[in-house]
Structure 1
Amino acid sequence: MLPHSTEKPLSYTCKRKPTGIEFYMGKRALLFIFLVVICLGCSERFSHTVQQVPPPAQISTTIPDYSDSTIRIAAGAHYGRSRLHRFFYGEHYRKAWTTPVEVRVLDIGKEKGGLTPTQQGGSRQTLNLRLEDKKGREYVLRSVDKEPASVMPQWMQKSYIANIARDATSATHPYASLTVPAMADAIGIYSVEPELVYIPHDPRLGKYMDTFGGVMAMLERRPDGEQTDVARFGYAQDVKSTKSMLEHRLLSNNSKVDARFFLRSRLFDMLLGDWSRHEGNWRWAEFEGDSTTVYRAVPRDRDNIYYRLNDAIIPWLFMRTKLKEQFQTFRSEIHNVESLNKSGRNLDELLLAELTLQDWEEIADSIRSELTDQIIESSLRALPDTIYKLTARPIINRLESRRDDLRATARKYYKALAREVNIVGTDKQESFLVEVLPEERVRVQVYELSKKGDRQQLLYDRTFLESETKKLDLYGLDGDDVLHVNGNRKPKIKISLYGGAGDDSYAVHAQESRLGKSIYIEDSSYRNTYQLDKYTSTKANDKPAATIFDGTGWLLRYYLD
């Protein structure tokens, strides 16, 4: 048993108090109040570390033996603040952070047959250390504690504002990610499987010892490259980054994303209250078909599930500014599903555009039936025993409530995405066929085109309801695309066609109707052909935005690592 750290949390003494000022009500006033409170609160400067145990006075150069060793430490003793501080800034999950737990000590010489550190990584707030076993398989150590000040300008990184941003990490549950794998297995989605470990001041860490020695971390298999031995990643031949997946999706038309599988993961995100689903928090398992590569989503980074922020005056003021409206406290119901999904919206709009309300309801009902009370309870048992007793029951109750309401949640977010839909081609040749149908419906199909211009594989097919959708934007991107609209009536949906690069062909065929009143076309003035009715609006644009011109330009819409 290694000794318990005797490091004491830092204490801070405020030297100034804010003066009374009259403010106008409104978002700017609330932001001003918030900034005044935190900026005038103190003039000291701070430094931070994610280490739970400081280095010893002298580190031995001999190879240590950590067989069966454990250590009892708290994930973040520095989150234990005064009653006054908690009154203003919130209780959050401070007890979970400050309560010591027993953690297995990592022996990198024996773990997974022996691991070798290869490089430091990390994005935004979490420190990562990559390791490799003797067969070249990669693992990653992710620090449990965070350092949000690292994303701030350098002059702010030791400021009081940085200290408050760091303190807000206590709104996250330090061990939440341990509860995910069992629930993910139950509903049939992929997931990483984190294990809680302590990284000692081990000389085998080499140049990484000063940064990672003394750190509590999650050890995970890194979802990248060949994963044929990992069931949790579908035994995939290759797992790729979001950037690689999107490049394949947008630059050629021989790939597709399993949209229903992705939706299953996204509804699970909403169930967990995971508001951080930006592009960097996904990997993509690749499977080769006869003529098409299929990608299935691999979620990672569950640091922000079960979030608990809005429980004191300062967080309340901050949330009123709507600067980070996705920072939703984990409650029994979702108050604003669009805000919760703000960071994932870009991917959702592209990858879920083919799914109907029936798809969403079927998958929501499936998750609701598969995620039983017993599975939720057993999943939370993955927390350390003391932490389970402190935090599990409210989380279980809220998970069960959100699960029971999942169909309604799915319907709300579906309707939000259905209002305006982007149908995006690739840099190859495609045929876009829009049919205005009776009963207030519009069908869109996209086909792969041969070099001779013949329709081949069907790439997209969805019928839209005019009661749900107000705008359809079709983007051909590069390639010589064909975009045709047919119908006998004027639809209520506004339909816009953007051919992008290449020599594109447009046609609007109407039989004694004003179909073209709802059609808008934009393309360059070069080498395109048009067969339009007199009502169709067209605009020549020889300097289009990069984000609508071709696949490479469309990639600029995303946060890509």
Structure 2
Amino acid sequence: MIRPYALLFLLLPAAASCSRDSYFQPDARIDFTSPLPANADSARVTAGRHYQRGPLGRLLLGRHYRRVWAQPVTVPVFSPQTAVAGGLKFGKMGGGFQTTSVTMVGADGRSYALRSLDKDPYRTLPKVLRQGFILTTVRDATSAGMPYGALVVPALVEAAGLPHTSPQVFYVRNDETGLGAASERLRGKVVLLEEKFEGKQNIAGSLAGAQDLEESEDVLEERYASAKHQLDGESFVRARLLDLWLGDWDRHEGQWNWAAYAQPSGRTLWKPIPQDRDQVFFRFDDGLLPWLGSKAVAKFRTFGPRIESVEGYTRNAAFIDERALAAVPRAAYQRAALSLQQRLTDAVIEQAVRQGLPREVYALEGATIIASLKSRRSMLPQAAEEFYRLKARQVVVAGSDEAERFVVERRNDTATVVSVYALPLSKKNPASSLLYQRSFNPADTRTVVLHGLEGKDEFLVSGRVRHSPFIDIYGGPGEDTVRDSSRVAGLRKRTRFFDTYRNNVLEPGPETKDRTEHNVLSHAFDRDGSGR
């Protein structure tokens, strides 16, 4: 007797058409056998007609957005000389694993990303899987993405009060030579062109007034080097709720740029700029095999009238969420949700979808996307509460490589207040030294993790209560001081100190658990998401 799962895998090769030697369409143009006129300014193309499947393929692999990928649309022909005012020149090849990408540079020094709309996950697979129906099936999953979804997003992000890129779709001629090392790989393809927000030369428009633009990796390096650099958590939570609303599950730290703004205090506040909207409106679990996959991999959520899994949607962004949302209280999540509901009106949604999608694609999917966006909007407060609770379970509060004082006050059974001050404290105005403050309720937060990083840091813990989160203290390199006079009812000690055995001052109390060791493993702290 053949089990249902075994039958699926027996039928899968036929559904995926794995016998094809060349998977991708040879050219995006419908009539690519005839030359494109030299003066052609537009072309009739498909984003990916190779994603078409018969009834069996759609049953097993899902309907996804196959009709959209195969739908002929008219798009401009890409010309490096005219794509933007002053023209573009080849800069360098990008590092994408699934798309061919290139940096182009304008006459004014501003940089742009040019990347293929279609994807090839070949290089993301182990070598043993880079063949046969497994490779073809993984390639086929690209059809779960809405190829033109990124064109809808700018108007929605602008209405939400956030900076944004403005991607444009083009067709690259099959004889194009102006893209440097990428010319051959991009010929005949549909591509997206969008501005890059990296470097002072790219400050313009809504970003006027910013001091600098940097990627997440560089911003985090500055943030942990000096407490003068802070991330704008309230803007970030607004952006992340917008991600949930759009069904964009791939929002890892590499999907963000940051704009620096000087503050009256002399510090620098970094505001988030979302980019790379490849996964908005993702549609996945409408076939037997992807339905099984969605049960095993929570992040593959399908965009529809309901926000199905906040945990799944936010899994890829866990690292940057932890860094950027550490200071954000519950009330800020709800303020952001209510503000988005007010800003993202029916008229804004309808206009963004109608103007963003190609006319033929709007006829296929426009009404469905509009209805889903309106329905999901009503769920934003509920999603915000779930998001808050998810991020509040364990909160990482990191200092910097400069000296800081961490003050933990176990005030009562519902409030443990953590404050971080720059050292030395200002004699004229001690309050100006305050870098961080947040109250934690043990009903929401089980553990608060304090990282002193480098510098001579102080950790002061006080208060007598019945309930409190665990306080895990990682002193980091340098001589650190811990004084714990607190007491929490119960047998389990709720202040834990992790550091080297020597070169620290520990004044423990009845609540302190000494976890110091002879090695420096406790000094490890992942600053940029690389795991180092």
State the TM-score, normalizing by the size of structure 1. 0.87
For residue 206 of structure 1, report the CA deviation from its aligned partner: 4.3
Aligned residue in 1 for 2:129? 156
Q: Does 1:339 align with 2:315?
A: no
**Cα displacement string for residues 63-84 of structure 1 (whole angstroms, at most 9, x for unaligned residues):** x8546x1111111111112122
Three-state SS of the structure 2 residue aligned to 1:108 is: coil
Contact 1:227 1:237 in 2 (8 A): no
For residue 292 of structure 1, report the CA deviation from its aligned partner: 1.2
**Cα displacement string for residues 487-520 of structure 1 (whole angstroms, at most 9, x for unaligned residues):** 1224332222111211000001248988993222
Deviation larger for 186-195 or 102-111: 102-111
Aligned residue in 2 for 1:110? 82
Aligned residue in 2 for 1:11? none
Number of residue pairs matched by the alignment: 524
> What is the aligned counterpart of 2:254 among 275, 280, 284?
280
- Alpha carbons of 1:540 and 1:388: their partners in 2 closer, same or farther (altered >3 Å)? same
For residue 132 of structure 1, report the CA deviation from its aligned partner: 1.1
The amino acid of 1:406's aligned partner reads L
- Alpha carbons of 1:38 and 1:274: their partners in 2 closer, same or farther (altered >3 Å)? same
Q: Does 1:204 align with 2:166?
A: no
For residue 238 of structure 1, report the CA deviation from its aligned partner: 2.1
Give me the CA root mean square deviation: 2.8
**Cα displacement string for residues 33-79 of structure 1 (whole angstroms, at most 9, x for unaligned residues):** 8766646977746444476348989999xxx8546x11111111111
The amino acid of 1:467's aligned partner reads A
For residue 370 of structure 1, report the CA deviation from its aligned partner: 0.6
Aligned residue in 2 for 1:396? 370
For residue 126 of structure 1, report the CA deviation from its aligned partner: 1.9
Q: Does 1:81 align with 2:53?
A: yes
- Alpha carbons of 1:435 and 1:516: their partners in 2 closer, same or farther (altered >3 Å)? farther
- Alpha carbons of 1:107 and 1:535: their partners in 2 closer, same or farther (altered >3 Å)? closer
- Alpha carbons of 1:205 and 1:336: their partners in 2 closer, same or farther (altered >3 Å)? closer
- Alpha carbons of 1:214 and 1:48: their partners in 2 closer, same or farther (altered >3 Å)? same
The separation in 2 between residues aligned to 1:512 and 1:251, in whole angstroms, is 34
The separation in 2 between residues aligned to 1:415 and 1:512, in whole angstroms, is 23
> What is the aligned counterpart of 1:555 among 507, 512, 527?
527
Where in structure 2 are the equivalents of 1:123-142 lying within 5 Å? 123-142=96-115
Q: Does 1:307 align with 2:279?
A: no
Aligned residue in 1 for 2:152? 179
Aligned residue in 2 for 1:318? 293
The amino acid of 1:442's aligned partner reads T
The separation in 2 between residues aligned to 1:51 and 1:432, in whole angstroms, is 61
> What is the aligned counterpart of 2:27 among 30, 40, 52?
52
The separation in 1 between residues aligned to 2:157 and 2:179, in whole angstroms, is 33
The amino acid of 2:55's aligned partner reads R
Instruction: Name structure 1 gaps, 5 residues minimum.
Output: 1-19, 24-29
- Alpha carbons of 1:358 and 1:409: their partners in 2 closer, same or farther (altered >3 Å)? same
The separation in 2 between residues aligned to 1:203 and 1:59, in whole angstroms, is 16
Where in structure 2 are the equivalents of 1:228-239 lying within 5 Å? 229-234=203-208, 236-239=210-213
The separation in 2 between residues aligned to 1:556 and 1:109, in whole angstroms, is 37
Contact 2:484 2:508 in 1 (8 A): yes
The separation in 2 between residues aligned to 1:367 and 1:254, in whole angstroms, is 30
The separation in 2 between residues aligned to 1:45 and 1:84, in whole angstroms, is 17
Where in structure 2 are the equivalents of 1:353-502 lying within 5 Å? 353-381=326-354, 382-450=356-424, 457-502=433-478
Q: Percent identity?
A: 31
Aligned residue in 1 for 2:272? 297
State the TM-score, normalizing by the size of structure 2. 0.91
Aligned residue in 2 for 1:99? 71
The separation in 2 between residues aligned to 1:188 and 1:241, in whole angstroms, is 20
**Cα displacement string for residues 275-322 of structure 1 (whole angstroms, at most 9, x for unaligned residues):** 0001111111122335212111111111101111101111112223x2
Contact 1:172 1:306 in 2 (8 A): yes
Contact 2:406 2:419 in 1 (8 A): yes
For residue 124 of structure 1, report the CA deviation from its aligned partner: 2.8
Three-state SS of the structure 1 residue aligned to 2:58 is: helix
Aligned residue in 2 for 1:538? 514
**Cα displacement string for residues 469-492 of structure 1 (whole angstroms, at most 9, x for unaligned residues):** 122111111111100101122433
Three-state SS of the structure 2 residue aligned to 1:325 is: coil
The amino acid of 1:72's aligned partner reads R
Aligned residue in 2 for 1:524? 500
The separation in 2 between residues aligned to 1:511 and 1:57, in whole angstroms, is 79
Deviation larger for 474-483 or 196-205: 196-205
- Alpha carbons of 1:33 and 1:346: their partners in 2 closer, same or farther (altered >3 Å)? farther
